[in-house]
Amino acid sequence: MNFNDRLKHLRQKSKLTQGELADILGLKPTAISNYESKRNEPSFDKLIALSKYFDVSCDYLLGVSDAYLPVGGEVLDRDIVDFFDLYQQLTPEHTEEIKNFIKYLLYKQDLNR
């Protein structure tokens, strides 16, 4: 995924319109639309502001890394990142189903010990 796709995904995940995100960052309403359609790229300052707002690394936003953030100095395992990417695409009711299924699997695992 490249910058424009990741920005759009993060914005939609946060249930923000392009205009709302632009307001948060102190940008013109069309700025986010231009970023998402590859017409413009953000300045370094705006890239950093985006990464702080969405709590992801600049490397993640730019597509350099698939890890959202280093954890304890280590980059997240690729399987965890893949799972997390899939998880983020789910609706709220489906995320609840996943949580319940994981709890069920942990329960089964404890029974087999």
pLDDT of residue 60: 85
| Per-residue pLDDT band at 73 (split at 50, 70, 90) | low
Task: Round to whole Å and give the CA distance between 3 and 11.
Answer: 12
pLDDT per residue as tens digits for the range 49-72: 999 898 888 888 998 876 665 555
Average pLDDT over residues 84-107: 91
Task: Round to whole Å and give the CA distance between 30 and 100.
Answer: 41
Q: What is the pTM of this model?
A: 0.62
Task: Round to whole Å and give the CA distance between 100 and 72.
Answer: 28
pLDDT per residue as tens digits for the range 13-24: 889 999 999 999
